[in-house]
Copies of this chain bind each other. A is one copy, B any other.
């Protein structure tokens, strides 16, 4: 797991001038165990920053993506989710019942997929949808 002890420095190191909004958005992403959407970020920060607009969140996230410190993922097709880039590649499992998005560690390097021979891979994504163990036990789905 990526460890950052100084967000302001981290942003500067990635050529991002650390405005208050940008720091708070990054901080929320960094501390979040989930993979928040723009609305999640907005709902969380609006109490602290009453003037905050979603445009700023979109601007900021797109800047972060451009500077390669944040990734966007899409599971359902409705809204984008964001997460701090992590060198360790992982996939996702989305529980249909509780809507939790779990990180799934996958050893991509050992996949050895024949049909990918000769292709340059820049990005990869792997996800599952189903029912998580917790919901299976609680709700007997």
Task: Please report A residues at the B interface, Cβ cutoff 8 Å.
Answer: 72, 74, 77, 80, 93, 95-96, 102-106, 111, 113-133, 136, 141
Contact = CB atoms under 8 A, between A and B. Distances in A.
B119 A128 contact: yes
A116 B129 CA distance: 11
Q: How many copies does the complex hold?
A: 2
12 contacts: A74-B77, A95-B119, A104-B113, A118-B136, A119-B130, A119-B132, A120-B130, A120-B136, A121-B130, A122-B131, A123-B128, A124-B127
A122 to B, nearest CB: 4
A129 B73 CA distance: 13
Contacts of A123: 128-130
Nearest to A92: B125
B111 A106 contact: yes
Contacts of A80: 77
Which of A74, A119, A133 has most chain B Cβ within 10 Å?
Answer: A119
Contacts of A132: 119
A113 B93 CA distance: 11
Which of A72, A74, A120, A131 has most chain B Cβ within 10 Å?
Answer: A120
Contact of A105 (B77, B93, B113): B113
A125 B91 CA distance: 10
Contact of A126 (B74, B105, B121, B126): B126
